[in-house]
Structure 1
Amino acid sequence: MQICDISVEGFRSLFNVSFVPIKNQTIITGQNDGGKSALLDALNFLISGKEPSEHDLSQLSAAPSDSDDQQPAVTVKQIVVTGTFQLSQSERVELGLSELVKIRRRYSPDEGSHLEVRMSVCEVEELRNIESEKIARLKEVAAKYNIQPVGRANARESWTTPLARLAEGMPTVEEWVPVSNALAGRLPVVVYFKGDAVQAPEIVVQSILNSKLREYSKSESSQKRITELEDHLADSLVADIDHIRKHVMKRCGFSALRLNPQVQVRPSLAGVEVRVANRNGHEVPLSAAGTGRSRRISLALWESSSQVLGSNKDDEGSGGESRDTDVVFVYDEPDTHLDYEHQRRVMNLIHEQSARPNARVVVATHSMNLIDGVDIANVVHLRVSEEGTYAELLSDESKDEEVRRHLSTIATALGFRNSVLLHERFFVAVEGPSEMAAFPILFKKYAGVPIQSVGICLWDGGNNEGALKFARFLKSHKRNVAFVVDKDSRTNNKKTFRDDKLKEYGFDLQRECHYIGLPNELEDLFDDEDWAHAANELWKRKGGHEYWTPDDFAAHRGKKFSSAVLDMLKKGSDYGPKGKDVMMTGIATVITKDRIPPALTETFDILVSKAQDAGPHYWDA
């Protein structure tokens, strides 16, 4: 059983990430603190059950980002991670399920975690999960329906068989229900390598052996023994439960009280000690072996995992034949602390693992080498917008323009590479994510070539003082810099790119600063007809019978146009844009070349002219 996609709600910065595909090889990119590690941990939580803590619950701002009110953040009540899993033919027959199933794991501080599957089940709740119930509970349910055992009274099968027959004859409903032991046993094995584990081989080998131990515990013979042990331990608690039950009933005046403890046995390694021999042949702890040797050992352990994991001898379930076990290899910045030679070994290892039909490889990285080494459709970029983090991805049918925009977005989030700083001629800072998302699309439509091909290095200034400092740094090293900002930024005290601030940092307002807006901002440059056309194409009105009209957008002129339009589209459409940057990307994608506002094309012409006259220049020594 292999995972196909994952959705996350309420986990750290991932408040609501609705769909992230998991392919044979998936690369996760994004800015620092953008949710890459959180996504990997959520995946590990879903499959392996590594329980989060209450500190992992998402915190939401109680006030809008443009509000002056300072209100405490609101913490969500639970974490929900949902995955789509594909079952093999044998698994479908064994479990009685379809090829694709939805499985989720929920966590809340009060209730802990629960693993559930979406499926058709008996409408009587107590008959839904017969196979996982203890004998004592099976006897209680059987007595309620006057069911007699079909064999020995102390044998589970004597009770589960007739109760299962009873459930089969009852109506069904579609529900989230607890996952059976058989289905849980078919979940893939997760092997999780973190970049900082390269200096702790003990962690790496413990991860590998723990995964293999869980794999062995899934065999039919192991499951039978574990169930017997759980039943034995549950029976051992009977007298203690009876004592507690009677005491509570007496003290609290209850007429009845039932205690039903759930005993679980989960094999796990408490730790692994790694010792190596020094030159004299004496064994010493790895901690005394030196950092360089520790790194080499960790990399060798990673490589060994390909051979150790994923092949299982199922002595009872497959008649003694070998059966490949599904594995998800998870890497969190695996190239950390490694030189280039060892980075290449890691890349080769990742490609080797992802080529196996029973494996998935998920890598969170900043490495351009890793990103460039996969198909662009396998890259998931986590973008942080005004509305939170969301996944930006491409389908296999994406057009060339979409690929170029996606690559531009990724490169921006990763920051400037040395080659960019050394060779680009003209740096243009825009005010925020809306311009950053829309400008490349609009420029390509207008000029016929990507904006970077004419020597313009576009970057998101983020409307913060750090951007001004960086721009001043570029200028001091003889780089040409310009700003493109909204007209309402000139005097707005909330904006960093206002006239007095730009002058304070040494920028010429006439030659290096370009203002757009009619009258205030980028969004209001576009005609009401173009907004209505884009909205009808991308964000259809609720109900699907009415169309957006130019008058719907004209009504918001004279106000904070972008905010008012965004709010209208969110409320008026089931598919409304999540933020202004998504909204601007939408209209930029739909609008035709001849409809691009003249004020914007004139700004493009000025920037191209300046880029042609800009350089190249050399950095000061």
Structure 2
Amino acid sequence: MHLISFAVSGFRSLRDIDDIPVSRPTILAGHNDGGKSAVLDALAFLVGARKLEQDDRTYVQQPGHGDTPPISGRCATTTVTGTFTLHTWEQSVFDLPAQVRVRRRSGEDLVPHLELFGPLADDERLRDLSSHLVPALKELVAELGLKPASQRRADLEAALRTHIAEHSSTEGWQSAPTGLEKRMPRLLAFDGKTAHPDAAVKTALTSRFQAHMTDPELSGRLHDLEDDVKERLRIDAKSLCDHIGTRCPDLEEVFVEPEISFGQGFRSAPLRMSRTAGEVMGLERSGLGRNRRVSLAVWEWTSELLADEESSDPSSGATGDADVEPPPVQNIVVYDEPDTHLDYHHQRKIMQLIREQSALPHVNVIVATHSMNLIDGVDISDVVHLKLHDHRTTVERLGAGVVGVDIDLHLSRIAAAVGLRNSVLLHERCFLAVEGETEQRAFPLLFRLCEGISLQAAGIALWACFNNEGALHLARYLAQHGRTMMLVVDADSRNVRKSIFKPAKLTEFFGHAAPDFVKFIGEPEPGQAGTEQFNELEEIFPDTLWAKVANKIWRRTDADWTAADFAAQRGTGKFSARVQELLQQQSPEGPGGKPEMMYELAMALEDPNDVPEQLRTVFEQLRMLAA
């Protein structure tokens, strides 16, 4: 069973959360107390690695009666529902389709129930097979005239489920087949918030312990073979200690002494080490830096264990054994703030480790983090942004097919080209989308001159999208995700193909607030009748200013520039192209291109009043939006 996504209802702040992906990897981002740890604990509850506690049940408002005010009480039911894909072996053994929904549910009694969504038996006695003992199952099989493969519980249930599929008129939740619990993913949880790596050692060796416990050679002889398993774990631990030794060469000795009890499971594996021979010490007496480096070494070693399991997967070969032996279960490696206490160098190691583990076929990774490096290191659709709204967690996923596959692809290419970071998209207060390099180079200078502060300091992210259509798609995308943004394009964008900048199309994209989102540079604002119409950014700067700046940085050898020189460039063709050509032809210091021309113009300005009023108004509005 391979978990591809899950939903949570009634678990702490997660009142009703849908579509949390289990990717390669998934990044859980958000503010403190936003619900990241709750999501990880809910996942552990789903796969059976955690019991539900009373404090896990979400508070809900119970309506009052008459003059009695509403009161808070715990929710009646907590459920975590997963969408799974099944291996062909599992489809055959449990007689299930390739994709199923399985949930773990707990009521007020906190007793967990594993349930499967599927055909619901018309005979109510068959709707909860887990509630029947084997003798009762045999009676039902005999009464219905069924012929199970054997009298074992699993075969009795299989025969009854086949009957249910043929005699059901509706679908619903029912008890999961016997044996399905054992196919649930295995959770390997590493808590980066604690400084001591003993827990990480236990998590790593527990995975090997569970593998040894399911070894057919040991089945039925558990009590007699306690020493055998303990010895195997010693061998596994020796490999771990050798790896730690290579990563921490200042340590003379590193060894682990596993403690095994089949009655209580794998209890502990205290890590001991020494810097010189014979001077053994526990990690609790070691420094914080060494603890974190040892934890990282343990996590690296876990990757080697997972890779070894992949290489021994019977379903990966071509021998046909996959029809007889079950494939390994899915491993979900969970890191809760793994970069805590680590410097940048070791954070990079964590990123590489996560990539290596995510590349293994039966392994998925979920990381709860505040690290911008980790958030920026994955596809934006694999970032789950958690936010609190009225003390309840809400989920935001960007780039997950909201505006169509083609546009998503277009945006991803823009993001890659301009170095757009996921962390900026998630956390910046305001976004300014512009057409291209000219605005990208000039606007930061003009904004600082007018507002006395940089765009970054004001919380404004400037994105150049290479053309006006790209800028429009980006702005639409941001608006649909509730982001504060503004799109600034030249007025001549009204004339582009597809009429995408016509009022009707903009209203379709942004609603009746389109004028607040989209600003056309050179086009008079509503209510400014009689104001001159311009086509592009360069045109709104007056001829006198162009002449003043040209005499300062693009000097002519024969005479000074005058306003008439630039006025002559208006009226035919693109003003910016004609001015660029003029400066290049008549000045040895002429600009190398239009972006450089506007950058040098912006650099030369010293008085905010030299910036055209329309741009000053746009910058003021941006500042207000960001605030």
TM over 0.5: yes
Query: Residues 122-201 of structure 1 correspond to what in structure 2 (within 5 A)?
Result: 122-127=121-126, 134-139=133-138, 141=140, 145=143, 167=164, 170-171=167-168, 173-197=170-194, 199-201=195-197
Distance (whole Å) between structure 1 residues aligned to residue 313 and residue 34 of structure 2: 41
Kindly indicate whether the alpha-carbon contact (under 8 Å) linking 2:80 and 2:103 is maintained by their aligned counterparts in 1.
yes
Kindly indicate whether the alpha-carbon contact (under 8 Å) linking 2:376 and 2:422 is maintained by their aligned counterparts in 1.
no
Q: 2:394 aligns with which of 389, 392, 395?
A: 389
RMSD, matched Cα: 5.3
SS in 1 for 2:348: helix
Match of 2:343 in 1: 339
Distance (whole Å) between structure 2 residues aligned to residue 292 and residue 5 of structure 1: 36
Unmatched tracts of structure 1, length 5 or more: 64-68, 227-264, 416-435, 459-473, 485-521, 523-532, 539-583, 613-621
CA distance change for structure 1 residues 304 and 269 in 2, over 3 Å: closer, same or farther? same
Kindly indicate whether the alpha-carbon contact (under 8 Å) linking 1:445 and 1:593 is maintained by their aligned counterparts in 2.
no
Question: Given residue 375 of structure 1, which amino acid in structure 2 is its aligned partner?
Answer: D
CA distance change for structure 1 residues 304 and 593 in 2, over 3 Å: closer, same or farther? same
Distance (whole Å) between structure 2 residues aligned to residue 586 and residue 95 of structure 1: 54
1:561-603 deviation per Cα after TM superposition (whole angstroms, max 9, x unaligned): xxxxxxxxxxxxxxxxxxxxxxx9996699776799959x999
Deviation at 1:151, TM superposition (A): 10
User: Higher Cα Rg: structure 1 or 2?
Assistant: 2
Question: Given residue 349 of structure 1, which amino acid in structure 2 is its aligned partner?
Answer: L
Distance (whole Å) between structure 1 residues aligned to residue 150 and residue 363 of structure 2: 43
1:506-560 deviation per Cα after TM superposition (whole angstroms, max 9, x unaligned): xxxxxxxxxxxxxxxx9xxxxxxxxxx999979xxxxxxxxxxxxxxxxxxxxxx
Deviation at 1:302, TM superposition (A): 0.6
CA distance change for structure 1 residues 358 and 479 in 2, over 3 Å: closer, same or farther? closer
Question: Given residue 608 of structure 1, which amino acid in structure 2 is its aligned partner?
Answer: F
SS in 2 for 1:337: coil
Match of 1:305 in 2: 302
SS in 2 for 1:6: strand
Match of 2:365 in 1: 361
Distance (whole Å) between structure 2 residues aligned to residue 282 and residue 6 of structure 1: 48
Distance (whole Å) between structure 2 residues aligned to residue 363 and residue 334 of structure 1: 8
Match of 1:411 in 2: 424
Match of 2:266 in 1: 269
1:72-126 deviation per Cα after TM superposition (whole angstroms, max 9, x unaligned): 5454333221111112233222322222111112233324222211112433344
Query: Residues 476-515 of structure 1 correspond to what in structure 2 (within 5 A)?
Result: none
Match of 2:108 in 1: 109
Deviation at 1:326, TM superposition (A): 1.7
Residue 336 of structure 2 corresponds to residue 329 of structure 1:
no
Question: Given residue 8 of structure 1, which amino acid in structure 2 is its aligned partner?
Answer: V
Match of 2:9 in 1: 9
Kindly indicate whether the alpha-carbon contact (under 8 Å) linking 1:329 and 1:362 is maintained by their aligned counterparts in 2.
yes
Match of 1:380 in 2: 384
1:223-254 deviation per Cα after TM superposition (whole angstroms, max 9, x unaligned): 8899xxxxxxxxxxxxxxxxxxxxxxxxxxxx
CA distance change for structure 1 residues 99 and 609 in 2, over 3 Å: closer, same or farther? same
Deviation at 1:150, TM superposition (A): 8.3
Distance (whole Å) between structure 2 residues aligned to residue 371 and residue 322 of structure 1: 35
Distance (whole Å) between structure 2 residues aligned to residue 209 and residue 309 of structure 1: 12
Match of 2:22 in 1: 22
Q: 2:619 aligns with which of 603, 608, 612?
A: 608
Distance (whole Å) between structure 2 residues aligned to residue 344 and residue 170 of structure 1: 57
SS in 1 for 2:268: coil
CA distance change for structure 1 residues 9 and 129 in 2, over 3 Å: closer, same or farther? closer
Distance (whole Å) between structure 2 residues aligned to residue 347 and residue 220 of structure 1: 37
Kindly indicate whether the alpha-carbon contact (under 8 Å) linking 1:534 and 1:590 is maintained by their aligned counterparts in 2.
no
SS in 2 for 1:181: coil
Distance (whole Å) between structure 1 residues aligned to residue 57 and residue 438 of structure 2: 46
Distance (whole Å) between structure 1 residues aligned to residue 615 and residue 75 of structure 2: 44
Kindly indicate whether the alpha-carbon contact (under 8 Å) linking 2:52 and 2:110 is maintained by their aligned counterparts in 1.
no
Match of 1:285 in 2: 282
Unmatched tracts of structure 2, length 5 or more: 223-261, 316-320, 461-483, 485-503, 528-611
1:115-163 deviation per Cα after TM superposition (whole angstroms, max 9, x unaligned): 21111243334435658954344356457x387998998x657966775
Kindly indicate whether the alpha-carbon contact (under 8 Å) linking 1:117 and 1:179 is maintained by their aligned counterparts in 2.
yes
Question: Given residue 77 of structure 1, which amino acid in structure 2 is its aligned partner?
Answer: A
Deviation at 1:46, TM superposition (A): 1.3
Q: Equivalent pairs: percent with the same residue?
A: 30
Question: Given residue 374 of structure 1, which amino acid in structure 2 is its aligned partner?
Answer: V
CA distance change for structure 1 residues 184 and 70 in 2, over 3 Å: closer, same or farther? same
Distance (whole Å) between structure 2 residues aligned to residue 138 and residue 282 of structure 1: 62
Kindly indicate whether the alpha-carbon contact (under 8 Å) linking 1:276 and 1:289 is maintained by their aligned counterparts in 2.
no
Kindly indicate whether the alpha-carbon contact (under 8 Å) linking 1:193 and 1:330 is maintained by their aligned counterparts in 2.
yes
Match of 1:100 in 2: 99
Deviation at 1:203, TM superposition (A): 0.7
SS in 2 for 1:50: coil
Deviation at 1:35, TM superposition (A): 1.6
Distance (whole Å) between structure 1 residues aligned to residue 135 and residue 512 of structure 2: 60
